[in-house]
Amino acid sequence: MGIVNVTPDSFSDGGDFLDPERAVAHGLALADEGADVLDIGGESTRPGAAAVAAEEELDRVLPVIEGLRSAGCGLPISIDTSKAAVAERALEAGASIVNDVTALSDERMAALCAEAGCGLILMHMKGTPRTMQENPTYEDVVGEVRDFLADALARAVAAGVDEEAVRLDPGIGFGKTVDHNLELIDRLGELRSLGRPLVLGASRKRFIGTITGREVGDRAGGTLAANVIGVARGAEMLRVHDVRAAREALLVAEAILGRRDWREPEPAVAS
């Protein structure tokens, strides 16, 4: 999943793709690099980020979704939003997956996704982006994240969402210390008991900078390590800024793990 942040303030690429033409060009470039899905977001969720009104979020993301479609991009598009009003218009414009980092905090979201029959990513977060990094504590981070995601999945299914349409994400960096993030990635396999494909979003995040001492634009090596271990532990979708590097790392990692014969052509694009 290639990230297209149409925001002035995202932690890694804030402001780079606020202009819709640049965002569309970036999405097309990520498609060329081998993305299977493009994740379009119009509101930063970095710690302390300012909230954005639905109309402004829509003004950011709709021209990009429409622009990608008119440029002939046929990849599935996910809309990274926690607002049902934004998700609804994005789905009409051509998105087919809702990536909700608040796991259905908007009471209309589940019904909307059930009605639309779209894909749905539910992510764990402790607190809100404004407060989540204020001394997050857990007795057992993996157990708490698993219980939260099980509950979110149950709420989605109770609202009519097809269980098969749901992917689950431990929410790396969302109300977690460095050690929590490391433990969640290392023990990611324990979340497979939830029975749904797992998404991992570690790309360029702060814990990588803390460990490597690298600034946000210089965390490619650390990102690859997190993603490769994540895949070895069972992640099936990686949310990344650098698609080509992730794709190549996966080809080699999956060959080593014996999950794919490197002589065979790459499998068809996932949806």
- Rule CB under 6 A: which residues touch ligand HH2? 3, 5, 7, 10-12, 41, 44-46, 80, 99, 101, 121, 123, 169, 171-172, 199, 201, 239
List 46, 146, 176, 205, catalytic entry: 205
**239 is known as an active-site residue:** yes
The backbone torsions φ and ψ at residue 8, rounded to the nearest 5 degrees and listed phi first, read: -85, -10
Taking the least distance from each CB to ligand HH2, the nearer of 131 and 258 is: 131
Taking the least distance from each CB to ligand HH2, the nearer of 68 and 237 is: 237
Rounded to the nearest whole angstrom, what is the least distance from the CB of residue 47 to ligand HH2 in the complex?
9
Q: Which residue of this chain has its Cβ atom nearest to ligand HH2 in the complex?
A: 201
Taking the least distance from each CB to ligand HH2, the nearer of 177 and 260 is: 177
d(CA 71, CA 263): 33
Radius of gyration of the chain (CA): 17
Rounded to the nearest whole angstrom, what is the least distance from the CB of residue 206 to ligand HH2 in the complex?
10
**205 is known as an active-site residue:** yes
Cβ 40 vs Cβ 95: under 8 Å: yes
Rounded to the nearest whole angstrom, what is the least distance from the CB of residue 248 to ligand HH2 in the complex?
20
List 167, 206, 219, 239, catalytic entry: 239
For 196-258, give the DSSP string: S-EEE--TT-HHHHHHH---GGG-HHHHHHHHHHHHHHTEEEE-BS-HHHHHHHHHHHHHHTT
Cβ 63 vs Cβ 20: under 8 Å: yes
Strand ranges inside the chain, DSSP E? 2-5, 38-41, 77-80, 97-100, 119-123, 166-169, 198-200, 235-238
Rounded to the nearest whole angstrom, what is the least distance from the CB of residue 109 to ligand HH2 in the complex?
14
Q: Which residues are catalytic?
A: 205, 239
